[in-house]
Structure 1
Amino acid sequence: MDHWGEIRKLIEARHAERLTERLETLGEDDRKEVAARLPELLKELRGRFDRWDDGLVDYAVVLRVAGAATLGGAAAVASWLYRREYAPRWAGADNDVDLVLRVLAGRPAAWRADLAGRLVLRLRRADDRGMALALALLRETGVTPPPHDVLVAGWVSTPPAAGLRDDPLLDQLLPRLFEAEGVGRALQWENDPRRGWLRALPGLADSGRVKRETLTGGCLSRFLRGGTGIDLRFFVRLHEALDPSPAEVAAHARDYLRLLPAAPGPVAELATRRLRAGAPLTGDDLAEAWEALLFRAERKLVRAGLAWLRASVRREPRLADVVAAPLARAFAADSRELQEQAVELALAHVGGMGEEGRAAVREAVELLPPDLGRRVAPVFDGGVVAEAPPAYVPPPLPPAAERARPLEPPPGTPGELRRLLWDDGVRGWQRWERALAGLVTLAARDRDGLAAALEPPHRQWTYWQYREESWRTAGHWLTAAVLSLLGDAPEQRAWLRMMPVHRLAAPHRLLLHRGAEVLRAVEEGGLPPLLLATPTHDTGHVAAAELVRRLEVLEAAGAKPLAADLQQALLRLPRIPDPGAAARAARLTSPAGRIVAAWTCPEPGTTLEWRCGDEGPEHDWRDRGHRHTIALVPSCGGVRTGLPLVDLMLGDAERHADPEHLAWWPSMLPAHGEVAAAHLAPYVLRRHWNEEPVGPEQALAVARAEGPAGAASALLLARVLGDPRMPESLEVLLETAARGELPERELGRQLALLVSAGEVRMVDVVAVLDAAARGGAYEQVWRIAAAALPVLLPRPGERPHNGLARFVALAASAAEWSGARGELPEVRAAAARKGTSDLLRETRRLHDHLTATTSGKER
């Protein structure tokens, strides 16, 4: 009888049930024959489908059942059952476990136990495809499961159909429940004590099926092992469902105490409640507990520690001697409310403290705000009214970095230019400027020799750009100029067709014009001896004396400068005139020389308006909350020079540019940092996930540019300060502050508008301003905060921004450090409101300081 032929037909027909019945009737020799033929059939079936198809998945059940029934060794069966091609990556749990168990039923018990162990060790996730079969085999064989955390997580994720009480795996896996990683995450959504594991486990303890100590002690051991809040969430709920008695808590009092300093918040809260409920603790234990809680960052826990301390000392006054160290910890709390409570407790119990405790409090006084410190210091200094403790004042600002450094000169030989073009790569504005200048100068000196030296190593890489609709990057134009110099450009006069026709941001347009005019001059043989606009400094400036020297070279050669090159050179002249260079320029006779001699630095005005779509200025979008439609509309103008590209650069901003070149723009306007910032302003708020944000590089370049900073510069710096992914922005702020050029009031307003618009988070703003204040910029931070508060403080009936209390606390500290005085109407109005929130406490603290009669600086 052809057993294999019959089995093959059932596999190809995918009749799983009939196949299972037939396999159960096979003899030993027939099983071996089928096992030998299965790999060949698998290969044949695989060949019927494209490698990307999942057609073989349709045969997975019959193939798995056939292999499980006929393959000899447990290792071979384990490998066969879970071949990768049987299930795509998104496949769910196996749906053939019952069939596989049927064909395995006739195997020896030891063999099936071996298979169960092998399947367990193959598991990688709690929802692994093989989990159901592994658990079923473990239950059938009764073998001790191998120690594998994934198995325990899978066990709790798939409760047994017969119920947990009668599960053969309960006694073996329950102790591992509190040890295996992944169990907490698998059970994190269990939150109803009337169902699931939160009902089953306490029920088993109540009935005596498992010991309560196994569960309560297991929860404690899991807490002590550590983990995230998600990992421990289920065990916290289980512990509370078990509701340990005071006697059970007393037996583990030391373990509960060990949880207080560093366990996740919910675990520490649990331990605090249980210890307060009546666990017998010595004075040293209480001091340890209070000190641990008052050192926590979570205000809820610090508040709970203070309440526990207050109640305990009221009940047992002798404990006053042990509260000093914990209260000293609380002096460093980041909440004014908690600091005030700690001060009240310290003053109330000073009589019961020994000298060691008094000393501990006295040393911690400097952690308090000055007004609270003045209340504590005299009492803890032997009853003598002492001078107020010196308030903390940050160190002074470090000196500002050098504004500009000389830029590396252009390549002086064809070999240097070749290395810059083909080896190093032209990335960034400095290399592009150097490469463009080197190409023009060396081509004017020896065009044929330069062409011979610049042969690209992989010429085909450069041709694809001629198939594009237009050239939107400066690198395209430079590559085209090189190919034209080599006489190998696929297209002549490409500069006519490849210039983008739609509107572009002015700096982008100027860059493309400079590249296009060099390409045209190469094609037409009209290259000048040199370029005028090549920067001499890394800010983008061209020294006036060097520009005049270049003009003298052109005039002596009878050559005309390129138009866009001349206009870019004018925009790069420093704002401070050079009398010697001006005198030399006055002797020039060429039209370009006369333009430079008559040049004075224009002063365009700039404005920046926040709009909600087309609906109006900033107060409209704040009232309506249209965060996702906010647009920034910068403009600058009022100056006309008669030079078209210069006037374009000093005109209104456009939001059409290649993001690659945003970092280049400040170097194109080094004498007009505010204008450069206005051009960058439309790119500050990202509107698409793949947009490159304006970053600290541009903010630093704008800060090192010349000219008065205004709203656009402030907005640019505010945006990067509010982004935690840009820690370098702090250095930008400190450098600008050290130079005395930080637009504090405008910066504060723009920061407030960004927070109100949901573009930056208050917590990030507070973090960076606190670091700046402690880095020496505390006076500047105060002025920033003073300008931001009128926008940020909530109007009556409004909900305050998350984290505003910390911002006001920082403002109060900066005001104290800088000695600021002078009432702010918005702060006065907010401080007069009723309530005891942290925000109101900090607002009143700030108002009290600003309106105090003690002498100080006026702000």
Structure 2
Amino acid sequence: MSREALVTAVRAGQTIEVTGLLGGMTDAERRACLPALKELRKELRGAPWSAPSRKAHPALHAAGAACHTGAAGAATWIAAADMRWSQASPGVLLHVLGDREPEWLGDVAHRLARRPVTSRVPYALTEGLVRLSGCEIPTTDAHVTGWFEHIGSAWHQGDTVVERLRREPHLPVMIAALFESLEVTGRVGWLFGDGPDSWYSALARLTREGALDRKTMVDACVARLLRGGATADQRLFLRLLTCLDLTRDEERERSADWTALACDAASPVAWHAQSVLASLFLDGESPLRQLAEMTSRVLFRPEKKLVRAQLILLGKVLKRDPSSAPDLLPAVAQAFGHQDTEVQERALKLVERHFARLDGADGARERIAELAAELSPGPRARAERLLGAGVVDSSPVVHTEVLPPVPERSRPAPAPGSAVEVAEEVGALLASGGDVSTFERALDGLVRHAHDDRDALLEALHPAVARRWWLDADVSDTHVDRYFRESPHGLEVVLAALLGRVRTATLHAAVQQRPDRGDCPHRALSRAFDARLWEVAHRIRTDPLPFLLATPSWSTGLLEPDELVARLAEYRRLDARPGAADFAQALLRVRRDGDGAPAAAAARALGTPEGYRLAQWLTAQGPRLPLSRRRTAGARILLELGELDEIQGQFPPEFRQLGRPQSVFKNRTYCPHWDRAERQHWSAVLPGRREMVAARVLGDLASAAVDDSRKEAAILPLLAEADGEAGEALHLCLAYGLAARDPEDRLCAVDALLVLAARGQLDAARLGADLGQLVRRGCVKPLRLAESIRTAAATGAYATVWSVLRDALPILLADLATDGKGGSATRGLGDLLAVAADCAERSGARGDLAHLARAAGRRGSSRLVSQARRLRIALTQEAAA
């Protein structure tokens, strides 16, 4: 009877009655209740958010924990995921478990503490179990995180953090665990805050009071900084270290650690270490050998601030101790190979200033002469005069432009020959995506095997789709219906149709009513792509297709005419009805840039409507592009497209939108095409007409540069490798992509730039002019652009990059000429000039650049002026002053 009473009380959610019943049971009686409790748990798991489930769960949580007489079983029950959101309070659990042996309670406490932090085991529970058992305090990530959150959330008690920490008996152990754990730091870092009542101040104060050992704290902070990790974590321990206010003796003892941190740590930590070392070196408390070793590594860090500070430090040390020149100047000369010519100039000036002190130090002179060969041409001439004629190799280097191999179209593999192969490819696509060829191959394989051996295909597909949420859903579930009515979700709609997880009426409505996913610039491309998938899914359920007509012959999406004719002939032999969307897509993909007369004749000879339509299409002029017009929307430069008559007429309605006018000022509503993976297929919707695709994604690329959106430029390399004219739309996309906020987007744009150049399709003058105009309008940030084109040039494409900058810089220098003071509008222009000078020097470019002389003749030694002078020297072959 006790078992039935317990289950009844649990089901009713009567926690107090449950604790009373458990108190009067023996261990054997409790174990006897477990099967019924597990059965109830399984029942409630089917509807976790229902009112009966929410009501019963806290009592079930407590009862199950108490009825497990093994520590492992009790801990597993307490921390179970399905109990996490509606569980018994720590007080109730401690009450029902409190009559157990201390060893048992300690075992449960440590098992719970070893659970992942995401298990969210209440700290009050593990702390209470530790207190009851008297066991050793756990130092796992979960328990330490809970301890920090417990201390940080006790503000309602009215005392301060330091007062709460003073009362903690295990304070040294928990703080030591903080330094050891990577996960704890990331989770509790936000608790540290600022101000006098922050954790930083509290820990520093307790260290000064002796509650925490000072040497242990300092060593732990430094060790954690040496260990590395996320920058946010490094800032936390750096802040704590500075709050400890190290003495000069403590700093001197750790000079080797500061050197390691200055060379390899995150920027904030390296800056702090460098400042500590600077003080030690200037006071003569660290050996010069250590400064030289440190310099050789710091000078090649990417942070210009650190590099400049290191050169300034070297200059101060050399001024204070001139005898250190033989030791330090070779280290300074290592900066001659730095990619930034300003760093080269600073290093060369430092060598020039102290070179006379190298008399008798032949080894140092030889090392400097050896490193001087790495200087840019301008500074190299000065180094030759300093070191003596013939010492430095100053002969011009013949430039050889390096561009990537021209990408070649490849033939996709034929459709998989077995149902198992189809399932494997589908599983890979669902897990990690794939390119156009992989997607089309899998889609064609699904269609073929659904027509030939549906049962074998279904059996093979189940493991591949096992994790799709709709697999176990009821067919009448409105969520499934809505999911596939709003979008086909790639291959998912075809798989759901095959497995009977979507209603035929839903597919029929999608084909007949043509769902429209938003009214945005991508609408035409997405409607055409989606229409074919909905059609394939519907035909699989009603009239299976033998194979697809529009499967590309080439990786770019093009379809060979003779292959399409052969497929139509096979359709006629099988007496199969082609899908309207599939045939429309085949027409748009068929190659029409050669002699189409033989294929047209063969198509006409088929005597089918599709044959006549293909013959007419192959003999028409093509492929044509609509007229375009440049328009501005705010500061942005965008393109409008005119109407294209040939994609109208006999095309299905979903495809006619591709030929309709594209306006800048319409179709500006919310865009539902958030899935960037879908966009890679858009270039294959209109192969041979990439300008039409580029014009429709131009707004996205503009947002990547202006609004700092991310992951927009992944389509650029695909467009660069695609077929068709590379015109105004593609070059504008490229211009925006080179100035995108996201570094990955900028790299995609660099890849596209180099591919277009390798294919001979880059219009450098057009791209340069676009970049100049976009910088003027504030759409392109010069610093981002400089980073992108510097990356492109570093691959060996110096002449290509110079050809772009040659048309961009005059526009920006003209604005500078009208602004006598060079205001903030030119911020970053010096970096562009630096890249241009580097490209001109390395490629041997010569000639005049409009407005450059005026910029070079300005007063001062700013980066803009110095790089303008350097570029003028490179272009005119003047001798360096």
TM-score when scaled to structure 2?
A: 0.68
**Alignment CA distance shift 1:75-1:299 (3 Å):** same
Q: Kindly indicate whether residue 800 of structure 2 is the aligned counterpart of residue 780 of structure 1.
A: yes
Aligned residue pair count: 735
CA distance in 1 between partners of 2:26 and 2:48 (Å): 34
The alignment yields a C-alpha RMSD, in angstroms, of 5.6
Residue number in structure 2 paired with 1:300: 305
CA distance in 2 between partners of 1:23 and 1:550 (Å): 87
Q: Structure 1 residue aligned with 2:372, among 341, 361, 365? A: 365
**Alignment CA distance shift 1:403-1:43 (3 Å):** closer
Q: Structure 1 residue aligned with 2:591, among 530, 535, 540? A: 540
For residues 240-261 of structure 1, give each alpha carbon's deviation from its aligned partner in whole angstroms, at most 9, with x where no partner exists.
0001101111222222222222
CA distance in 1 between partners of 2:72 and 2:414 (Å): 69
CA distance in 1 between partners of 2:322 and 2:450 (Å): 90
CA apart distance, 1:198: 0.7
CA distance in 1 between partners of 2:252 and 2:412 (Å): 74
Residue number in structure 1 paired with 2:400: 395
**Alignment CA distance shift 1:400-1:249 (3 Å):** closer
2:603–2:614 Cα contact (<8 Å) kept: no
CA apart distance, 1:54: 5.3
CA distance in 1 between partners of 2:182 and 2:348 (Å): 44
CA distance in 1 between partners of 2:394 and 2:535 (Å): 71
CA distance in 1 between partners of 2:238 and 2:533 (Å): 65
1:366–1:373 Cα contact (<8 Å) kept: yes
| Amino acid corresponding to residue 361 of structure 1 in structure 2 | I
**Alignment CA distance shift 1:140-1:378 (3 Å):** farther
CA apart distance, 1:74: 2.9
2:746–2:788 Cα contact (<8 Å) kept: no
**Alignment CA distance shift 1:85-1:549 (3 Å):** closer
CA distance in 2 between partners of 1:828 and 1:542 (Å): 48
1:139–1:168 Cα contact (<8 Å) kept: no
Q: Kindly indicate whether residue 103 of structure 2 is the aligned counterpart of residue 110 of structure 1.
A: yes
2:338–2:344 Cα contact (<8 Å) kept: yes
Q: Structure 2 residue aligned with 1:683, among 697, 714, 735? A: 697
1:432–1:475 Cα contact (<8 Å) kept: no
CA apart distance, 1:389: 2.3
Residue number in structure 2 paired with 1:599: none
CA apart distance, 1:132: 3.1
Q: Kindly indicate whether residue 718 of structure 2 is the aligned counterpart of residue 697 of structure 1.
A: yes
Residue number in structure 1 paired with 2:217: 215
**Alignment CA distance shift 1:213-1:141 (3 Å):** farther
Q: Structure 1 residue aligned with 2:148, among 156, 159, 179? A: 156
| Amino acid corresponding to residue 632 of structure 1 in structure 2 | L
| Amino acid corresponding to residue 870 of structure 2 in structure 1 | R
Superposition map of 1:353-752 within 5 A = 353=358, 354-380=361-387, 383-384=388-389, 389-390=394-395, 394-397=399-402, 401=406, 456-458=452-454, 467=509, 468-469=511-512, 473=528, 540-544=591-595, 547-549=596-598, 562=612, 565-572=615-622, 607-612=628-633, 621-622=634-635, 631-635=638-642, 654=662, 662-664=682-684, 667-668=687-688, 677-678=691-692, 680-686=694-700, 694-702=715-723, 705=724, 710-718=727-735, 724=744, 733-734=753-754, 736-737=756-757, 740-752=760-772
2:717–2:752 Cα contact (<8 Å) kept: yes
Q: Which is further off, 135-144 or 315-324?
A: 135-144
| Amino acid corresponding to residue 374 of structure 2 in structure 1 | L
**Any stretches of 5+ residues in structure 1 without a counterpart?**
435-451, 492-506, 528-532, 574-601, 613-620, 670-675
1:684–1:694 Cα contact (<8 Å) kept: no
Residue number in structure 2 paired with 1:809: 834
CA distance in 1 between partners of 2:132 and 2:451 (Å): 76
CA distance in 2 between partners of 1:478 and 1:30 (Å): 64
| Amino acid corresponding to residue 51 of structure 1 in structure 2 | A
| Amino acid corresponding to residue 818 of structure 1 in structure 2 | S
CA apart distance, 1:716: 4.9
CA distance in 2 between partners of 1:186 and 1:428 (Å): 38
1:377–1:389 Cα contact (<8 Å) kept: yes
Q: Which is further off, 789-798 or 150-159?
A: 789-798
Residue number in structure 1 paired with 2:43: 47
Q: Structure 2 residue aligned with 1:332, among 325, 337, 352? A: 337
| Amino acid corresponding to residue 817 of structure 1 in structure 2 | R
CA distance in 2 between partners of 1:120 and 1:650 (Å): 60
For residues 150-189 of structure 1, give each alpha carbon's deviation from its aligned partner in whole angstroms, at most 9, with x where no partner exists.
4334333332867222312223333333222223323433
CA distance in 2 between partners of 1:68 and 1:679 (Å): 61
1:142–1:168 Cα contact (<8 Å) kept: no
For residues 365-405 of structure 1, give each alpha carbon's deviation from its aligned partner in whole angstroms, at most 9, with x where no partner exists.
2333322222222213xx44867724566423469749889
| Amino acid corresponding to residue 276 of structure 1 in structure 2 | A
Residue number in structure 1 paired with 2:291: 286
Q: Kindly indicate whether residue 173 of structure 2 is the aligned counterpart of residue 167 of structure 1.
A: no
1:634–1:653 Cα contact (<8 Å) kept: yes
1:428–1:664 Cα contact (<8 Å) kept: no
**Alignment CA distance shift 1:476-1:17 (3 Å):** closer
**Alignment CA distance shift 1:12-1:286 (3 Å):** same
1:685–1:693 Cα contact (<8 Å) kept: no
**Alignment CA distance shift 1:35-1:744 (3 Å):** same
CA distance in 2 between partners of 1:769 and 1:539 (Å): 36
2:377–2:394 Cα contact (<8 Å) kept: yes
| Amino acid corresponding to residue 175 of structure 1 in structure 2 | A
CA distance in 2 between partners of 1:809 and 1:301 (Å): 20
CA distance in 2 between partners of 1:296 and 1:667 (Å): 45
The answer to which structure has the higher helix fraction is 2
CA distance in 2 between partners of 1:18 and 1:454 (Å): 59
Residue number in structure 1 paired with 2:484: none
Residue number in structure 1 paired with 2:198: 196
CA apart distance, 1:759: 7.7
Q: Which is further off, 278-287 or 35-44?
A: 35-44
How many percent of aligned residue pairs carry the same amino acid? Answer: 26
Residue number in structure 1 paired with 2:124: 132
1:149–1:182 Cα contact (<8 Å) kept: yes
Residue number in structure 1 paired with 2:552: none
**Alignment CA distance shift 1:123-1:50 (3 Å):** closer
2:599–2:615 Cα contact (<8 Å) kept: no
| Amino acid corresponding to residue 366 of structure 1 in structure 2 | A
CA distance in 2 between partners of 1:267 and 1:660 (Å): 41
CA distance in 2 between partners of 1:251 and 1:11 (Å): 64
CA distance in 2 between partners of 1:33 and 1:332 (Å): 80
CA distance in 2 between partners of 1:422 and 1:719 (Å): 40
CA distance in 1 between partners of 2:167 and 2:424 (Å): 73
CA apart distance, 1:666: 6.3
**Alignment CA distance shift 1:778-1:681 (3 Å):** same
